[in-house]
Structure 1
Amino acid sequence: MTGTLITVAPTGAESSKAAVPALPVTIDELVATAKECEALGAAIVHVHIRDDAAEPTLDQGRLRETVAALRQSTDLIVQLSSGGAVTDPEADRLAVLDARPEMASCTMGTVNFGDGVFLNRWEFIVDLHTRMQDKGIVPEYEIFDLGQLTTLQRLLAQHGLPYGGHVHVDLVMGVPGGMPGTAAALVACHQAIRDLPAGSTFSATGIGRSTIPVILASLATGGHLRVGMEDTVTYAKGRPVESNMQLVARAVGFAQLAQRPPLTTAEARELLGMVAR
């Protein structure tokens, strides 16, 4: 892999605006962040949305408005989260696809998520995967633990390749309850990814203080990167993140040092089997 696919996850569903004032929660804030990060080298924006009180929501109208605003203002691949918050019901999570993003997340199993439980039943996973096939949406398969890669093998064997034919996973590392954000854990996942269809690719996300070790390990093993304030709000010990641009700029710097510069949005669409915009 000669280039690096960089995803920015600017908001998430966990941090509050009160605790993290720099968190982009309005549509205008999200669009401004997306434009800045695209200029630096991001190709995908992984989107969670908030309501007027800055609380996580899966409101269909706001989802559609957000997708439209991002498409109008950027050329980024808009990837909606089908995870939402851990308390969101399955029906609302499936309805995310009705906002017609180019891409959406599809988590491969249930995982303890701090004090909560991120529930992903097998039947729900199959429903999400097959609806994306029908709607022409490219999935990013979210992996929180090694065994979920085996679940992905089962899914593909029983229900076919995703829309576009390319399998791309994101290793979410360092969540309390999931796999650790270490080079050893990433290497173990990398071995399992080799059992997926030929040409499959992966990104890696390091939560909190595991961000930099995961970036380095992913680049060293041919993987891609996801960074953003959804995953970490501390740039260094005692230094809060000031903007998502900081995190994307750091990821771009590491990618360039690895002689794997950021993929353009057009190159990212080609990699992922998407129709060019």
Structure 2
Amino acid sequence: MRDVILTCALTGNITRPEMTPYLPITPEQIAISALEAEAAGAAIVHIHVRHDDGRPSMELAHYTEVVERIRNAGSQLILNLTTGPGGRFVPDADDPRIAAPGTTLLPPLERVGHIPALRPEIATLDLNTMNSGDQVVMNTPRNVRVMADAILDAGAKPEIEIFNPGDLVLARELLADGRFGPKPMFSFVLGINYGWPASIEAIQLGLAMLPPGAIWSAFGVSRSSFPMVAAATLMGGHVRVGFEDNIYLEKGALARSNAELCAKAARIVRDLGARVATPWVAREMLGLGMPGTSA
């Protein structure tokens, strides 16, 4: 019986409070949601933070409060902090050389400043440069390398997020010098417009391009969330759910908590003949240290 690691993406920065009244927003709410997700089977929590009015935040104080609340609760959770914010460009409608309101582009080291400060076990590393509605997500190879070095220097394990096949070409270049260790960690992000479709064929292509020894997960957004839990489990990978990706427990029924989403995902994993990995088992599988320590 295989162990499957369940990650819960607690709040993200795209899901809006007006979409669901159950979205955790404050640091206290996000930390409580993380602990509830752990009780429902999550071994990893993927953490974004927000201002009290629901707007996405990059404030170190917000990250710090969430992390301290989880750690002070005696949780065994593996903490995975995002480094995705700060990479969006909105071109002006009349002159695309000009950044329009909504642009969030920041120097790469500012995007990862909370990682050395808080030393999570995992930090995401987005490799995508792609359309996102009328915006462009920008992660140039140079900036990705700067961010990767900062994450590694902080003792965190990069979770390399893959939105398109070209991202894997860049990933293999980054991995060529061995800095990422023998168990690089990848996540296929499926079902986002202009990225991978949420399909078995997309996962198969991604697997064919992964380097030897890689650990991988796949997750879908919106209606593809739970089908991709099943697909990833059956294909030998790990899984993710959470309000960042999907707010519905089933068609027309809002999930009332991240824990409900995790409980359903855990049930799917078990029904397909696998075990849901505990945080301790997940640490061993990923080559991580104990809570609050580096690998």
Structure 2 residue aligned with 1:96: 114
Look up the equivalent residue of 1:161 and give its one-letter code.
Answer: R
Q: 1:51 deviation in Å?
A: 1.2
Secondary structure in 2 aligned to 1:276?
coil
Q: What secondary structure, in the 3-state scheme, does the structure 1 residue paired with 2:276 have? A: coil
Q: Identity of counterpart residues, as a percentage? A: 33
Partner of 1:207: 221
For the residues of structure 1 that align with 2:258 and 2:13, how far apart are their CA atoms? 15
3-state SS in 1 of match to 2:7: strand
User: TM-score scaled to structure 2, two decimals?
Assistant: 0.88
Runs (5+) with no aligned partner, structure 2:
89-103
Higher radius of gyration, 1 or 2: 2
How far did 1:88 drift?
4.8
- 1:161 paired with 2:161, answer no
Residue 276 of structure 2: aligned partner? 262
Question: Secondary structure in 2 aligned to 1:18?
Answer: helix
CA contact under 8 A between 1:114 and 1:175: conserved in structure 2?
no
SS at 2:33's partner residue?
helix
Tell me, in whole angstroms, the C-alpha distance in 1 between the residues paired with 2:276 and 2:159: 18
Shift of 1:115: 3.0
Contact 2:121 2:289 in 1 (8 A): no
Q: Would the aligned equivalents of 2:31 and 2:67 in 1 still touch at CA under 8 Å?
A: no
* Match in the other structure for 2:136: 117
1:22-61 → structure 2 map (5 Å cutoff)? 22-61=22-61
**Superposition deviation, residue 92 in structure 1:** 2.8
Structure 1 stretches of 4+ with a deviation exceeding 6 A read: none
Alignment of 1:223 with 2:240, yes or no, is: no
Aligned-pair RMSD on alpha carbons? 1.6
Residue of structure 1 equivalent to 2:92: none
**Residue type of the alignment partner of 1:224:** H
Cα distance in 2 for partners of 1:166, 1:97 equals 20
CA deviation after TM superposition for structure 1 residue 18, in Å: 2.6
**What does 1:180-191 correspond to in 2, within 5 Å?**
180-191=197-208
Which of 170, 177, 189 aligns to 1:172? It is 189
Instruction: Please list every run of 5 or more consecutive structure 1 residues that lacks an aligned counterpart in the other structure.
Output: none
Tell me if the contact between 1:8 and 1:227 (Cα under 8 Å) persists in the aligned partners.
yes
